[in-house]
Chain A
């Protein structure tokens, strides 16, 4: 616990260090609690420690990494959370390099064939297939590329254009917006079937979709290859946590936070209270909502309105490539409740990891089931769709991000009217409380966004306390 005496000594040391131009211990004696040991919290903690702060990281789960979760108990160690490191993930790559985490080019996911209605369509015959519901001019576009058509009219030409007041007309329902842009009904339905950036198109901002597509367009420049950690992405947050002077406090959820303009008290489920000069909430918003904390009413209202993406995954192990005999590729993009099926080889074995990836509102009925029934429901649907999988495929692990109280979903979504403005407001520091996490990032999303947000939050703290 920080006594007045220690605070005094620390502050004097800090003052003297700055008066004499010292650097490494500028934050010395200043104490920060970081809530959440995901990439964002860990990156902020490492930066603050580097500049002399005393940092305590507290984590609800019994492991670090948060939404990076390598399923180490399954063959092939599939990723239950973040899987692909984008070509421009400078911060993630540097951290991995610095901590000797080997990266590799991911084993290639088999390309998708299609199930539309209950009709199977091979990749090669998509354009001409009778079950392809698209009108003539659109038929040759595969379902997973349809959203890319937004780049024909994308007004977001720069990294921060999604906040441009002149472009706010696009911050409208994607369902309405796509119709207005002339997307045929069948195309809109296919986009809605497996949209990773909304739970349904009515409640998704077109601006948010433009942002994603614009990013894909812009970042395809001098591209390095995408990567993953060879031994699992969770090795990265684990190695980051090991660098910290003080070990992360695991299995210890924060239950309430009191703060004033100068102090923060963080109460843990263990009954302990941590006192500090500042705290960073490096948490997804649904997890923030479970903590009792006095935020301004307008900020609380906003936090409560942000939706998170629903994702249910069933990770399966395939003993042999059952699809080869029948001429299929092994992965499927479907408009069925099963969503997408991603299959990739486990290196140096004859086996494959197969992930059934269901997202959006299709998850609702699965969330209502207990774990065993949910697994059984998905497996039965899989056998029905692909009967030949049955003898060689076994279910390994069910992952339901929305049901994890410390995640509450896969990532933040932007509803109509939120993309332009909500984003800045939800991360605004209040008193000595600061916010990090992928949902607060500006230029990137995902893992790199989490790292970026940790930089921004530590900068905000250093400004006030260094």
Chain B
């Protein structure tokens, strides 16, 4: 497997296409979380100093219910439950999903990245 990748790569080098032909692998859920979410959210280190609520054990969690975190009224009363479709909707356009939320976030990720990140995040214990 590795050897084949290397072989393909080397032939690209021989063709002089080095940097341009090298297709970057898609960023992983972990990477996307690290760059785009980690500064404001934690995964399993409560109590926490961050501006956003902890996101561990998110799957099937009722929105706006982490003990000790002061959510906006909008999130608390949203009735949302975090699963793939709700998380995708939230991240794609938080203001459209739950108006008057307090995340103040514009998602810089592509649709595929958002999907990959969400799938990864919902698996975190």
Q: How many residues of B contact A (CB 8 A)?
A: 42
A-side contacts of B25, CB under 8 Å = 18, 26, 466
Chain B nearest Cβ from A210, distance in angstroms: 15
CB contacts (< 8 Å) of B28 on chain A: these are 23
Are B9 and A12 within 8 A (Cβ)?
Answer: yes
The contact sample of 8 A-B pairs, CB cut-off 8 A, is A16-B6, A88-B102, A94-B39, A224-B51, A443-B104, A459-B27, A459-B32, A459-B109
Is B36 on the interface with A (CB-CB < 8 A)? Answer: yes
Q: Which residues, 316 to 360 on A, are CB-close (under 8 Å) to B?
A: none
Residue of B nearest to A457 (CB): B108
> Which residues of the partner chain A approach B70 to less than 8 Å between Cβ atoms?
222
A-side contacts of B71, CB under 8 Å: 222
Known: A224-B51, A464-B24. A23 touches B30 (CB 8 A): yes
B102 contacts A222, C-beta separation under 8 Å: yes
**Cα A458 to Cα B31 with chains together (Å):** 11
CA A47 to CA B37, docked complex, whole Å: 12
Q: How large is the interface on A (under 10, 10 to 19, 20 to 34, 35 or more residues)?
A: 35 or more
Instruction: List residues of chain B with CB under 8 Å of any chain A CB.
Output: 1-2, 5-6, 9, 13, 18-20, 22, 24-25, 27-28, 30-32, 34-36, 38-40, 49-52, 70-73, 94-96, 99-100, 102, 104-106, 108-109
A448 to B106, CA, bound (A): 13
A50 and B49 form a contact (CB under 8 A): no
- Among B31, B32, B39, B40, the most chain A Cβ lie within 10 Å of the Cβ of B39
In the assembly, what is the distance between CA of A466 and CA of B73, in Å? 40
Set B24, B31, B100: member contacting A23, Cβ < 8 A: B31
| Residue in B49, B102, B106, B109 whose CB lies within 8 Å of A93 | B49
Chain A 19-44, CB within 8 Å of chain B: the 1/0 string?
A: 11001001000000000000000000
| Main secondary structure on A side of the interface with B | helix
Chain B's interface: helix, strand, loop or mixed, by majority? loop
Does A296 reach chain B (CB closer than 8 Å)? no
Question: Which listed segment binds B: A74-82, A153-161, A238-246, A249-257?
Answer: A153-161
Whether the Cβ atoms of B24 and A262 lie closer than 8 Å is: no
Once the chains are docked, how many angstroms separate the CA of A333 from the CA of B9? 65
Q: Is the CB of B18 within 8 A of A262?
A: yes
A367 at the interface (CB under 8 A from B): no
Find B108's partner among A7, A222, A456 (CB 8 Å cutoff): A456
Given contacts A91-B39, A158-B95, A158-B99, contact A444 B104 (CB under 8 A): yes
- B18 & A16 in contact (Cβ 8 Å cutoff): no
Tell me the complex Cα distance, A372–B98, Å: 55
Q: Which residues of A contact B35 (CB under 8 A)?
A: 47, 455, 458-459, 462
Given contacts A93-B50, A221-B102, A464-B24, 19 further A-B contacts (CB under 8 A): A11-B9, A15-B22, A19-B1, A23-B30, A23-B31, A51-B34, A90-B40, A93-B49, A94-B40, A94-B49, A158-B99, A159-B95, A159-B104, A160-B106, A221-B100, A222-B70, A262-B20, A263-B19, A444-B104
